[in-house]
A = this chain, B = another copy of it.
Amino acid sequence: MAGILLVEDDPSVRTALELALTRQGHSLTSYATGEEALEHIRSRRPEIAILDVMLPGIDGVEVCRRIRRLDQLPVILLTARGDDLDVVVGLEAGADDYVVKPVEPRVLDARIRAILRRAESATSDRITFGELVIDRGALKVTLAGKEIHLTPTELRLLLELVRHPGQVLNRRYLLREVWDHTHVADSRLVDACVQRVRAKIEPVPAEPVFIHTVRGFGYRFSPP
Q: Are B167 and A137 in contact (CB under 8 A)?
A: yes
Say yes or no: B107 contacts A223, CB within 8 Å.
no
| Contact call B114/A96, Cβ cutoff below 8 A | yes
Give the copy number. Answer: 2
Q: Give chain A's interface residue range (CB within 8 Å of chain B).
A: 35 or more
Binary interface encoding of chain A residues 106-118 relative to chain B, with 1 for a CB under 8 A from any of its CBs, else 0: 1101110110011
In the complex, A98→B139 CA distance in Å? Answer: 35
Kindly provide the distance from the CB of A141 to the nearest chain B CB, expressed in whole angstroms. 12
A91 surroundings in chain B (CB, below 8 A): 110-111, 113-114
The verdict on A121 contacting chain B, using a C-beta distance below 8 Å, is yes
Docked Cα-Cα span, A72 to B137, in Å, equals 19
A42 contacts B87, C-beta separation under 8 Å: no
| Contact present for A167 and B138 (CB under 8 Å) | yes
Q: How far is the CB of A34 from chain B (nearest CB, A)?
A: 19
Contact of A54 with B by CB under 8 A: no
A residues 170-224 with Cβ under 8 Å of B?
A: 214-217, 220, 222-224
- B151 x A168 contact (CB < 8 A): no
CA distance A45 to B167 in the complex (A): 14
State whether A124 touches B167 (Cβ < 8 A): yes
Q: List 18 A-B contacts (CB under 8 A).
A: A42-B224, A72-B121, A85-B106, A87-B107, A87-B110, A88-B106, A91-B110, A91-B111, A92-B110, A95-B114, A137-B164, A137-B166, A138-B166, A138-B220, A139-B168, A139-B217, A151-B215, A153-B216
Q: List 17 other contacts, CB 8 Å, given A84-B106, A124-B166.
A: A42-B224, A74-B118, A87-B107, A87-B111, A88-B110, A91-B110, A91-B111, A92-B110, A97-B114, A120-B122, A137-B164, A137-B166, A137-B168, A138-B166, A139-B214, A151-B215, A152-B217
